[in-house]
């Protein structure tokens, strides 16, 4: 009996197991691109064998991050759902002895092999790696660090760990793939998640060479096994920029992780909205860049981690999974999902539409192909104003008469069922329950079921917004949607956020409500370290006026000033307000808030208190001081708003010489700028 079969026999003494099917394939005469063509889609066995809690050692560590002990039934569920590959992240540092041998605990090695065989029993590909061993001063025993100072020690341990893993698995066939490291990085450094420094990338290349050479030296099937290698953090741009292929080995596969955009996928709170045409194009281009850099030249790529966390935004996640999966299919890259909706404790799929988004693209003729559903007049980016009716159509076509019923859900609550054709909802939403919805985000799901109990599902999102009433000081980051900009913390008085990283052609959009027709004054609080630019204001899609951001008035990204005002006539009712940003190259300016008020017409002497009452000195060429604290605004005598603020001392040095009006509460004061 060979060593592998002896090991399997030993494992079967402690749990019922079958002979692992794909463990016996040997090394086939196929290329890396042929292997990766068979691997998608895949799933990670996340937060399980990679879990580490410091105090828990041995087999107890498997459950220390909250997941139950892995069983053969769980892996069968994952395979039966449609996943073809199981990536098994494994942490080793808390299961090995000290140097110079770094002996891995055989009980732990046995458990890793046992779980791998659960996947082989289901004819799956298996990826084994070194996962959370990255050196962290706060985690005793961690050791892997891509720095020159720790390089020699890390390579020594890396070689000895991989020699042990490779020798244990050397007889397994090519359905087993080794991954040298997970996301190697210098923990705690500024470059940790940005692709690393030149030093870090150079050391990671040496790590990959050492690990590959160690694996190959064990012989057997390892001499020709497929091996995945990452660059710093497993970032795609790091790999494109500076990944060296050890020995120009044809069996090497590039390992990349993609959680972009991070603000949507994992950042807390970040954003729970995704799916604008620009966001879709950015993701598609990102994944295509891996094809251009590697696959077009014959080098295979696996995206070993991706996914979007639950932020009460199911429809946006479904859209993201559809786009991500299709981009991977288009570019010949198997996506190995980290965040999927399988609850291992109950063995249930909590949000199966997420997986449906993937599998329906891999198996379009077999999965969810009948019946056909179509939403009309509502899409993922659809926005509605709170309290108004939502107009949309949903049509479930049934050419063969096989549909038994179609259900319509809002936020997982069944609101309507149709049991006969035509399966059509339309009009203003009265029948569907979509009228007069309050502020919030909604997931609309339609499920059509045929007489074989097969269900086809479509999901879209609806965001219902309460318009901002005029007059208002509208916080810039409270947009309903945007393209290209990001929110960031501000150092301005009172804290909060501003929108930044504004470049030419970016935009942000808002809903406003005007209670009566008339003229409105617009000003913006802005800051820039460059030349500034312009804010073109569009009302309901039509360009109205332009605010100028003068770079000479500000000397930094948090050095704020208020623009000169513009006036726009606005009719009564709800309006869409779009801010289009334009200027030169690079970042233009930051935007803190937009002030929208009804102008005060002050043009008679009776409108003013005594000229020297309430503020001093008057006249002034530099500053004026208020005798009473409180919010104030400065206008031209004709009523054009110039500056708005709360500071007790007001800098007026940038104003032209002339007469101005300061309004504070119900009082108005005339002052002279000389």
How far are the Cα atoms of 84, 176, 220, 247 from residue 32, in angstroms, in the given order?
16, 13, 19, 16
Q: 165 in helix, strand or coil?
A: helix
Is-contact 447 460, C-beta < 8 A? no
Beta strands in 54-212 (DSSP E): 85-88, 125-129, 176-179
Strand partners, 393: 376
Task: Take residue 126 and report the two structure tokens written for it.
Answer: 């298996």
Q: How many CB atoms lie within 10 A of CB 137?
A: 8
Is-contact 407 458, C-beta < 8 A? no
DSSP 474-542: EETT--SEEES-EEEE--STT--EEEE---TT-EEEEEEEESS-EEEEEEEEEEESS-EEEEEEEETTE
Is-contact 456 398, C-beta < 8 A? no
Catalytic residue among 159, 171, 183, 477: 183
Task: Take residue 431 and report the two structure tokens written for it.
Answer: 């029948």
Is-contact 463 275, C-beta < 8 A? no
Is-contact 95 57, C-beta < 8 A? yes
In 3D space, the residue among 60, 58, 133 whose CA is nearest the CA of residue 90 turns out to be 133
Q: Give buried/exposed letters for 601-613 (b at 16+ CB in 10 A, else e).
A: ebeeeeebeeeee
Task: Take residue 634 and report the two structure tokens written for it.
Answer: 């400065």
Task: Take residue 612 and report the two structure tokens written for it.
Answer: 């020297």
What is the Cα gyration radius of the chain?
31
In 3D space, the residue among 515, 666, 488 whose CA is nearest the CA of residue 592 turns out to be 488
Is-contact 459 353, C-beta < 8 A? yes
How far are the Cα atoms of 8, 258, 272 from residue 313, in angstroms, in the given order?
44, 20, 6
Tokens 């609309």 — which residue? Answer: 444
Catalytic residue among 305, 355, 475, 521: 305
Is-contact 338 291, C-beta < 8 A? no
279 carries an active-site annotation: no
DSSP 290-346: HHHHTGGGT--EEEEE-----SS-HHHHHHHHHHHHHHHHHTT--BEESS--EETTT
Is-contact 83 42, C-beta < 8 A? yes
Is-contact 290 260, C-beta < 8 A? no
Q: 457 in helix, strand or coil?
A: strand
Helix, strand, coil in percent for the chain, rounding step 5:
25, 30, 45
183 carries an active-site annotation: yes
Task: Take residue 589 and report the two structure tokens written for it.
Answer: 């300016």
> What are φ and ψ of residue 302, in 5° steps?
-125, 130
Residues designated as active site: 183, 305
């Amino acid at each position: 009996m060979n060593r592998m079969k002896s090991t399997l026999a030993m494992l079967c003494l402690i749990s019922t197991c079958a002979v692992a099917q794909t463990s016996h394939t040997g090394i086939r005469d196929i290329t890396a691109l042929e292997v990766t063509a068979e691997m998608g889609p895949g799933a990670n066995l996340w937060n399980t064998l990679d879990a580490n809690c410091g105090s828990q050692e041995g087999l107890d560590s498997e459950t220390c991050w909250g997941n139950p002990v892995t069983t053969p039934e769980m892996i069968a569920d994952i395979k039966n759902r449609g996943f073809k590959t199981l990536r098994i992240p494994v942490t080793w540092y808390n299961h090995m002895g000290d140097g110079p041998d770094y002996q891995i605990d055989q009980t732990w090695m046995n458990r890793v092999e046992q779980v791998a065989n659960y996947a082989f029993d289901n004819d799956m590909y298996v990826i084994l790696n070194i996962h959370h061993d990255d050196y962290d001063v706060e985690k005793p025993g961690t050791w892997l660090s891509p720095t020159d100072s720790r390089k020699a020690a890390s390579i020594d341990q890396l070689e000895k760990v991989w020699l042990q893993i490779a020798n244990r698995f050397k007889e397994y066939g090519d359905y087993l793939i080794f991954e040298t490291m997970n996301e190697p990085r210098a923990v705690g450094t500024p470059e940790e998640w940005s692709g690393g420094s030149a030093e870090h990338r150079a050391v990671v290349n040496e790590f990959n060479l050492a690990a590959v050479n160690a694996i190959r030296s064990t012989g057997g099937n390892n001499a020709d096994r497929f091996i995945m290698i990452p660059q710093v953090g497993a970032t795609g741009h790091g790999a494109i920029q500076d990944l060296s292929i050890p020995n120009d080995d044809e069996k090497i596969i590039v390992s990349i992780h993609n959680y972009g955009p991070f603000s949507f996928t994992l950042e807390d709170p970040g954003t729970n909205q995704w799916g604008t045409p620009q966001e879709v194009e950015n993701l598609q281009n990102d994944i295509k860049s891996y094809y251009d850099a590697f696959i077009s030249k014959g080098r295979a790529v696996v995206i070993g981690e991706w996914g979007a966390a639950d932020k009460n935004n199911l429809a946006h996640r479904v859209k993201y999974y559809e786009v991500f999966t299709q981009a991977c299919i288009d570019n010949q890259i198997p996506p190995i999902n980290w965040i999927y909706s399988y609850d291992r404790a109950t063995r249930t799929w909590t949000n199966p539409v997420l997986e449906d988004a993937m599998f329906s693209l891999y198996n379009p003729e077999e999965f969810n192909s009948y019946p056909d559903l179509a939403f009309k007049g509502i899409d993922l980016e659809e926005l509605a104003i709170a309290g108004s009716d939502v107009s949309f159509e949903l049509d479930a076509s049934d050419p063969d008469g096989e549909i038994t019923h179609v259900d319509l859900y809002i936020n997982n609550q069944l609101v309507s069922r149709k049991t006969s054709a035509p399966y059509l909802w339309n009009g203003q939403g009265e029948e569907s329950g979509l009228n007069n919805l309050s502020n919030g985000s909604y997931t609309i799901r339609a499920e059509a079921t045929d007489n074989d109990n097969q269900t086809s599902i479509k999901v879209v999102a609806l965001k219902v917004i309460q318009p901002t009433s005029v007059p208002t000081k509208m916080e810039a980051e409270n947009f309903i949607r945007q393209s290209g900009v990001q929110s960031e913390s501000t150092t301005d008085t009172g804290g909060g956020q501003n929108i930044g990283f504004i470049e030419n052609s970016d935009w942000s959009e808002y809903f406003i409500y005007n209670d009566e027709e008339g003229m409105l004054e617009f000003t913006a609080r802005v800051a820039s370290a460059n030349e500034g630019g312009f804010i073109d204001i569009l009302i309901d899609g039509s360009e109205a006026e332009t605010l100028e951001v003068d770079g000479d008035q500000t000397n930094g990204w948090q050095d704020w000033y208020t623009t000169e005002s513009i006036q726009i006539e606005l009719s009564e009712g709800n309006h869409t307000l779009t801010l289009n940003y334009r200027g030169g190259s690079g970042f233009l300016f930051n935007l803190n808030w937009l002030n929208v008020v009804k102008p005060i017409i002050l043009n008679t002497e009776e409108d003013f208190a005594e000229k020297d009452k309430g503020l001093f000195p008057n006249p002034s060429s530099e500053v004026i001081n208020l005798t009473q604290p409180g919010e104030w605004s400065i206008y031209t005598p004709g009523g054009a708003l110039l500056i708005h603020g709360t500071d007790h001392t007001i800098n007026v040095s940038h104003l032209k010489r002339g007469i101005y009006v300061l309004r504070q509460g119900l009082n108005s004061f005339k002052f002279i700028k000389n």
